Amino acid sequence: MYKRLSMVMFPILLVALVGTGIWGYMEHQEKNSVLIKAENQYQRAFHDLSFHVDKLHTELGNTLAVNSTSQDAYKKGLINVWRITSQAQNEISQLPLTLLPFNKTEEFLANISNFSYRAAVRDLSKQPLDENELKTLSALYKHAGEIAADLRGVQSKVLASNLRWMDVELALVTEKEPQDNAIIDGFSAMDLKVGEYSEIDWSPVVMSMYQKRDMTMLAGMEESPEDIKQKAARFLRLADTSGVKVTENGAGTDYQSYSVSVPKPGTTDGVLMDFSKKGGQLLWFSAAREIPAKQLELRQARDMAAQFLDDHGYKDMTAVSYDEYGNEANITFATRKNDVINYLEKVAVKVALDNGEVTGLEASDYVFDKKDRQLRQPKLSEEEARKTLNPSFEVESTSQALIRSDIQEEVLCYQFIGRVNGGMYRVYINAESGAEEKIDELGAQEAEVQA
């Protein structure tokens, strides 16, 4: 009996064993294939990074070598610097450096990118590079050469010793000491050197890109939790404040705020709100809930949102963009004063399309950018600005608008809304120079409401 059983089971076990072996071999081969592909991608990104930083050094040198009166050559050189730096930043993002201190070098390259772009896009014939900017270019040329040399040194070690980036990733994940890996050593030393570079004058325009909003920017006195509780109750039209819970955030930092929570039946988490501690200004609130069926159109939701804003002290607001998702309207409003739409001071409102209830408000831009501005009269008339548009552009409405340009400057523009090439667009023409500052395509729903 046992002999007969063994004769039956042996072939089955043999087939299972062979199948397991084949499966294991295939899994091993597939894993190796994935590892090889990842290693090849890392190696390509690293060697491309070394090439582009070396090219960046060369391009900066070429830009400095041109005649100081040749603004077209400067513009071309600066555009090339921006393009090459962007490529280098992209290659850094493809390397396993997230656990490695390399932020100083990344910040340095980001500043070069912003400096070159913002210098290139302006009219250099009217605003040529000044003495400080030329000194900055010279410093960037010198430092780019040092970084390129350091990268070439690491590259030589990688090629000579056939080093693998997969070992770098493993060393970082397992927290091995940096000196255990030549690549980690090289990148750490490079970042340390960049951090010790003497201060570079990047200009206020460039550094404005990195100015983070914090509560110190706001006016007013610091308010207590009880003050915030009363403000939240007034905003929500509550007679009883017993259910209002206030929690302080970021104590001792520049980001001090209060979070407020209020139970509300029918919502997913009740009502949630954030207020700044300084000035006690509402930053956002949410009363998210399920919205079973759409009963209202966007125009109706817009009117209800506008009334809500007016009732809560957001005066002189006009709707500037519309969206609809999940039976909820998302409508952005900007202030409108003296017939100028101020896109810097804006709030976003969510409206439930079943009954028109406002279920959310985002007011950070309004809080941090609201201030008294004395706008100059436009140099160009509306008719002069209109002449710079595409001849095929069919204008449907015109207004003046204050926007923030690509170089983070506040710019007064003529806003033209119209149709071209089968689509509806919002075009902003600089009211002083006639330059086309920005173009936004309107979505189908927004175009329908604007019509």
Give the position of tokens 């929500």: 236
Residue 330's beta-bridge partner residues? 323, 350
Contacts of the segment 149-153: beta carbons below 8 A, 24+ positions apart: 150/186, 150/189, 150/190, 150/193, 151/49, 151/50, 151/53, 151/54, 151/190, 152/50, 152/54, 153/186
Average pLDDT over residues 10-17: 58
Determine the residue type at 249.
Answer: N
Distance CA 157, CA 190 (A): 15
Average pLDDT over residues 139-146: 89
Q: Which of 182-191, 242-251, 299-308 has the lowest mean pLDDT?
A: 182-191
What pLDDT sits at residue 1? 52
Contact 309, 282 (CB under 8 A): no
Confidence of residue 211 (pLDDT cuts 50, 70, 90): low
Contact 258, 315 (CB under 8 A): no
- Tens of pLDDT, residue by residue over 35-72, are 677 777 878 888 888 899 899 999 888 888 877 677 78
Percent pLDDT > 70 in the chain is: 83
Statement: residue 300 has pLDDT above 80 = yes
Average pLDDT, the chain: 82
Between CA 215 and CA 345, with CA 253 as vertex, the angle to 5 degrees is 15
Confidence of residue 98 (pLDDT cuts 50, 70, 90): low
Distance CA 271, CA 285 (A): 7
Question: Phi and psi (nearest 5°) for 243?
Answer: -90, 0
Between CA 87 and CA 96, with CA 93 as vertex, the angle to 5 degrees is 140
CA atoms within a 13 Å half-sphere pointing along the CA-CB vector of 49: 23
Residue 271's beta-bridge partner residues? 262
Contact 208, 409 (CB under 8 A): no
Q: In what helix (H) or strand (E) does residue 275 lie, and over which residues does it extend? A: strand 271-276
Q: In what helix (H) or strand (E) does residue 63 lie, and over which residues does it extend? A: helix 2-65
Give the position of tokens 């210098």: 119
- Tens of pLDDT, residue by residue over 332-369, are 999 999 889 999 999 999 999 999 999 999 999 999 88
Contact 354, 327 (CB under 8 A): yes
3-state secondary structure of 93: helix
- Tens of pLDDT, residue by residue over 228-245, are 999 999 999 998 888 899
C-alpha pair distances (Å), 237 with each of 241, 266, 270, 374: 10, 17, 15, 35
Contact 211, 217 (CB under 8 A): no
Token readout for 212 is 């983070």
Distance CA 83, CA 62 (A): 15
